[in-house]
Each structure stands twice: as structure tokens, then as C-alpha cells.
Amino acid sequence: MNAGLANKWNHIYNQSNPVYSPATQVLIENDFLLPTTGMALDLASGWGANAIFLAQRGLAVTALDISFVAIDKLTTYAKQQGLKINARQEKIVPESFTKSHFDVIVVSRFLDRTLSDAIIGSLKPNGLLFYQTFTQEKIYSKSPNNPNYLLASGELLALFSGLKLVFYRENASIGEPLFGLRDEVQFVGQKLI
């Protein structure tokens, strides 16, 4: 495991208590697409807002994150609330994924381009991927600056071209920049095979 990266995120999560904010916008706005049962993965879960959202809707959830601090706090919260969440500390690599295992995968504000094939492979047939993360074109400065964590225009479509497109939004700087989702792209795709 990358100790430096784990330490960085442990430090960030140690600075405050979890504030269970809403799940990622792409998941909330498209929750009607979710199955009522099945297996879900919250990838790079952090505090676990997406995992909690999915578990509250009846899905058995696996939450993976590099920070043991975040995972410990999520595990405690899930037990207190009686939610089916298996939270594990893990550096996420292609070998982290089990083939055709999940009905739903959610990725929010995390980008590792080397994982796209493994993510697709881990979806069951008809499984759904909900993805929302930062773009290179920015209106506000709150997003990361490292280009490794920023998507070029249309890049998410290319990374997951093996999935059927269900929903896509990339507003960039179109129209009135004070309104609507900015600095992030949203994607929902379905595995057909």
C-alpha cells in the first residue's frame, strides 16, 4: 500500500468528525435507476455518503478507501444505523475488483484511469456505473489542480465507451456559470453483456 497516500488521507479524515453529507449528485438525481436489491460498490468511499445512500435503498454495499480512519468511522456509523455495508481499507488497484460481481458501482471525485477496464469488468450484466468527478475546464478553484485527477472534455465517455450511455452531463462554461453543475462531469452507464 502507498503509505504516503494513506497517511495523507488519514490526516485529512482525522481533522474532523464525519459529516454525513448527501450522496453524489449524479446518484441522487438518478436514484430511480437503482435496483431494489443486489450488490453495490462505493469506490474510494471516504466517509461513505454514497455507501450509506445505497444501503438505505436495500443494496448490500462494499465500500473501499485507502484511509483506515474513514473506513473505521463508516463502519461504526453503519453498525449504529443497521446498514449492510462492508467497509474495507484498501489501495484500489485493478486486482481489487471481482469479475461480474456488482449490480451498481459508484465513483465520486476519484480518478484513476488505469481502473476503467476493471470497473467495467466488475459490473454484472445490466449493472450500472454512476460516476462524477472533476474536469480540466474550471469555473471555480475548489477542485484539484493536478491534471492526473482532472478529466478532459469527453474523456469519461471514452474511458467507459464499453458501457451503454444512460446519462451524461458536462456543462463546462456554457450559459450562466453561477447556475448548474460546474467543474464536474456526470455519467451513468450500463453494462449490456
Domain segments of the chain: what residues?
3-190
What order of strands is seen across the sheet that includes strand 184-190? Answer: 85-89, 60-65, 39-43, 102-108, 123-134, 184-190, 164-169
Q: What is the mean pLDDT of the chain?
A: 86
pLDDT in the model for residue 11: 67
In this structure, of 79-93, 114-128, 167-181, the range with the lowest mean pLDDT score is: 167-181
Measured over the CA atoms of residue 49, residue 143, residue 176 and residue 151, the dihedral's sign is: negative
pLDDT in the model for residue 7: 75
pLDDT greater than 90 at residue 41: yes
What superfamily does domain 3-190 belong to in CATH?
Vaccinia Virus protein VP39 (3.40.50.150)
Average pLDDT over every residue of 33-42: 97
